[in-house]
Amino acid sequence: MKKTTAAITAVGGYVPEYRLTNKELESMVDTNDEWIKTRTGIEERRILKGEGLGSSDMAVPAVLELCEKRGISPLEIDCLICATVTPDLVFPATANIICDKVGAANAFSFDVGAACSGFLFALTSGAALIESGRYKKIVIVGVDKMSSIIDYSDRSTCIIFGDGAGAVLLEANDEGNGLLDSILKSDGNGRQYLHMKAGGSVLPSTVETVLAKQHYVYQEGKAVFKFAVTGMADVSFDLMQRNNLTADDIAWLVPHQANLRIIDATASRMGLPKEKVMINIQKYGNTTAGTIPLCLWEWQNQLKKGDNIILSAFGGGFTWGATLVKWAYDSK
């Protein structure tokens, strides 16, 4: 019997209007456009402005867009998985809130917390639910409002992160297209280099934690860079080898957009020319769980049925991984 695979059948995305440029950051912290561009590749990032708006408010238009594209009602969604480190609330899950807002009344839903690898972890989990044969339509959301946990007086982090959301629909495929393989990894020892100190059960929020600025991203950039550069490149290369793929067989690399130098190192390890690498870090910075689906959203019209695509990420945890997708449809 032919194995059922889970294929991406529609993509949606959303980025907020407001552009925080390198120039504007120059007026906020001691930095400059040239440094940011050469060290990270970032020129601007989007910021969600507005009282009372959270991650779900970016995810909603992304999910509605993919429903419209696929011609389905949100009522047909069986399950929605949201990858995020900036949930609307500590609980309930942002996935529950998104379902409520889009009217996905028949879906069960939950969040996945795997930082910048969250979308890949959620995608692989959703694919397994499709492969089980028990569910037909699963939406995977990657969203982060990083501006809600960034200290805009810390030049080492505020230049990197931005806000945005992407979402894909997974459905069963019997043509052998879709998610074919994944290598996913985590190492909790890496938490020392990238985390948020307060607001969890170890250090609940108090006046003191706020005054000590412990509700912001803490990052040891150099250490994270070192692990990311080898982790993302190794896992992407291993996935190629394991599936007997050469650089010629791969149509696209969709890398997590954390730093252009990490992306270049991964592409170079895989032997891929720049033309095959999706890069939009200059426009959006690092949107954490949003980067990979936002790339798919931007490039969707160039993707062809049968294209071999490798999605690759590294992030807090540490978490990292790569997923091989054979694209399932030609866009109209």
Ligand X SMILES: CC(C)(COP(=O)(O)OP(=O)(O)OC[C@H]1O[C@@H](n2cnc3c(N)ncnc32)[C@H](O)[C@@H]1OP(=O)(O)O)[C@@H](O)C(=O)NCCC(=O)NCCS
- Contacts with ligand X, residue ranges (CB under 6 A): 31, 35, 39-40, 116, 155-156, 159, 221-222, 224-225, 228, 258-259, 286, 314-315
**By C-alpha distance, which of 188, 185, 189, 207 is closest to 198?**
207
Residue at 311: amino acid letter: L
Specify the residue, 62 or 224, whose C-beta has the smaller distance to ligand X.
Answer: 224
Tokens 């270049």, located at residue: 264
Nearest distance from residue 267's CB to ligand X, in Å?
16
Residue at 297: amino acid letter: W
| 295 is a catalytic site residue | no
CA distance 107 to 103: 9
| 22 is a catalytic site residue | no
Nearest distance from residue 133's CB to ligand X, in Å?
35
Nearest distance from residue 224's CB to ligand X, in Å?
4
CA distances from 15 to 51, 231, 241, 287 (A): 17, 28, 35, 10
| 286 is a catalytic site residue | yes
Specify the residue, 186 or 331, whose C-beta has the smaller distance to ligand X.
Answer: 186
Catalytic residue among 79, 99, 116, 295: 116
Specify the residue, 239 or 258, whose C-beta has the smaller distance to ligand X.
Answer: 258
Kindly report whether the peptide bond that precedes residue 314 is cis, defined as omega within 30 degrees of 0: no
Q: Which residues contact 110 (CB under 8 A, 6 or more apart)?
A: 81, 82, 93, 95, 96
- Using DSSP, state whether 70 is helix, strand or coil: helix
Query: What residue number has its CB nearest to ligand X?
Result: 221
Catalytic residue among 22, 96, 256, 295: 256
Nearest distance from residue 83's CB to ligand X, in Å?
13
Catalytic residue among 82, 99, 286, 295: 286
Specify the residue, 124 or 259, whose C-beta has the smaller distance to ligand X.
Answer: 259
Q: What is the DSSP letter of 133?
A: T
Catalytic residue positions, numbered: 116, 256, 286
